[in-house]
Chains A and B, each alone.
Chain A
Amino acid sequence: MQRWANPNRFMKLTSALLPWCAGLSALLIGAGLFLGLFVAPPDYQQGESVRIMFVHVPSAWMALMIYTIMAAASAVGLIWKHPVADLVAKACAPIGASFTFVALVTGALWGQPMWGTWWVWDARLTSVLILLFLYVGYIALWQAFDDPSRAAKAAAILALVGFVNIPIIKFSVEWWNTLHQPASVAKLDGPSIHVSLLIPLLVMAAGFTAYFVTVLILRVQREILARRVRVLRLSQRTL
């Protein structure tokens, strides 16, 4: 982790990594789409609408995973004052918010034909909506301060306090009576969905993860460059 603390090093390492991540994500998402749309069979109950699963579920997984990374990076930034950690956390937020939005919209499009409603205030849907609000609030906090280091601290505290929502989302379908179905993949006794649906799902999830790394690299690079601009402008003003 120390290696990544130097922003210049970070720029060099990530610039080399970037095309590989981008290529990998394109490959995996392409393969996942092919498998999900052409190879996977329709569900015996849900028919072809089950294919929405191949974008809805990976998006939801990303929404949760990215928030977890954002909270971890916030903690590292708060505790060790790691210079890049704060920027990683900041860069995560729009990506996580985007996936949360996609999860909610694709979930609604799945819910209407299958469960008869676009929306219901059950524990799963409500807690994911709260996740979206947390992401948006986190982004807004960064904008609210002139001093970036104070913004980083305030945002980090929000990210950490909001982390309680993640296990709530995960276990919501077990703890409460929800319209949203219970877990069928991430369970202690293993996945219960058929392999013909599981494989495209996992391929898409891997592709979305590679995509996340690609966009994260771009966004952190932008933050590092913006910081250089700020420093330069400040030094030129005092000359």
Chain B
Amino acid sequence: MITFENVTKRYPGGTVAVDSLNLEVPAGKIMVLVGPSGCGKTTSLRMINRLVEPTSGRILLDGKDVQTVNPPELRRGIGYVIQQTGLFPHRTIEDNIATVPLLSGWGRAKARARSRELMDLVGLDQAFARRYPYQLSGGQQQRVGVARALAADPPVLLMDEPFSAVDPIVRAALQDELIRLQGELHKTVVLVTHDVEEAIKVGDLVAVFRPGGHLAQVDAPERLLGAPTDDYVRQFVGFDRGIRRLSFFGTTGIALGLEAVASQDQTVAEAVRAAKNTGEQWVLLVDSERKPRGWLSLAMLESLPADTLLASASVEGYGHTFTVGADSLRAALDATVLSRSGRAIGVDDDGRVVGVTSYERLRAAIQEADVAASGGWADATERPGQAAP
């Protein structure tokens, strides 16, 4: 556990980077510090391993004041990852990873064996072991950076904008990787970012800083989206926070309909009857394995001879489906919005149709999830279902 007790950092000249910070990072959790530039988030991070010394206040690591430990010794027990990787250009990948073990006096053979273990852990091909950093891509370098930070198995990991310098696809992959690793390792992680999406994705807890080194709110990501404490936080987390919050709600409980479904060996007449009986404007066409083929509009069906087989009718694309249970309500909503029929197709793990959504069904599911998640928000106007414009 990391505890900030009234920590202030004032630079010569009077700039206050961090102002009376009180913050507790629970053991085994990812705490994300997020805020605009100059809000003191990086300074706060660097005070943990004494790269920056506080002007006043204390930082406790498992109850021990970091000021009482000599810096090199303290730092060898704290992993550190930075945006520009800071890999040693003159050392091979395996020796880069083995940095802290070598500093701590492990034998070279043992340290290198540990490097290989870590390369596996972070998903780096062992063929890279003898290469130099310049021979790797940005994403690979960042994996080396993470492996290096984990080499001596420190209980605490500090990450300063670790994924900001890579392209969005690699960034998403590295974020997923971090979440996976954390599931195995349970480190106490403090991660600094200016990207609120990243904070919400990887954080167990998110601390929002405001300019001047003040804390605006510390909460679980879902609470941050659902109940921002003030206008600053509300603005900072973004206008579509209501929608984004739906990522935290599953689709297991969503009611899905199967009113207008037809298979390819049925005729147009049967499909039209199904649509009219249910009042639907669209019929979902499925194949013999119940995998979706596309949407048939009622108007189009009525223009065809009644005995035409549906296999030969032209279908509207169905966009993306969502997997019931695995995907979030946000995915279901997104699929619904993108579908011309106003219905999204929920499928099982094998891609077979389970049922379709409607806006009505989504609204009910969102409300239910909301009640279940919060036990009611303090302010009824803050209900996420209604907050999105």
Are A and B bound to each other? no
